[in-house]
């Protein structure tokens, strides 16, 4: 299982904007994820190019990055957002 750097990036922005109140969550997030067997998925230039070329079904840049990474590595995305179904990725919810 992988966790994208885009997930942590988006969470930290939401915390900074006051949309996510659990500041302790972010400081412990890496330790918790890796203790549970998740591996890091860094954002590469290939991912950035792929995300930029995706059809504009979804305008959220973080979600577009998740789609690009899932496509590049043949991974599933865990989300309730049905717009992911429009892309060629497996969605788990």
CA dist., res. 39 & res. 88, Å (int): 23
CA dist., res. 43 & res. 7, Å (int): 11
Burial class of 65 by CB neighbour count within 10 A (0 to 12, 13 to 18, 19+): buried
CATH homologous superfamily, domain 2-92: 5'-nuclease (3.40.50.1010)
Check residue 48 and give its pLDDT. Answer: 98
CB–CB of 81/63 below 8 Å?
A: yes
**How does residue 33 score in pLDDT terms, banded at 50, 70 and 90?**
confident
Ranges of each domain in the chain: 2-92
Q: Alpha-carbon torsion 26, 65, 45, 52, what sign?
A: negative
pLDDT over threshold 70, residue 65: yes
**How does pLDDT run across 40-53, given as a tens digit for each residue?**
999 999 999 999 99
Closest CA to 69 of 32, 31, 40: 40
């Amino acid at each position: 299982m992988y966790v994208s750097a885009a997930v942590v990036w988006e969470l930290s922005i939401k915390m900074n904007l006051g949309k996510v109140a659990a500041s302790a969550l972010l400081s412990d997030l890496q330790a918790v994820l890796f203790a549970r067997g998740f591996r890091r998925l860094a954002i590469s230039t290939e991912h950035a190019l792929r995300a930029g070329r995706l059809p504009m079904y979804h305008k959220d840049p973080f979600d577009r990055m998740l789609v690009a990474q899932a496509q590049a590595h043949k991974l599933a995305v865990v989300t309730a957002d049905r717009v992911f179904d429009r892309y060629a990725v497996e969605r788990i919810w």
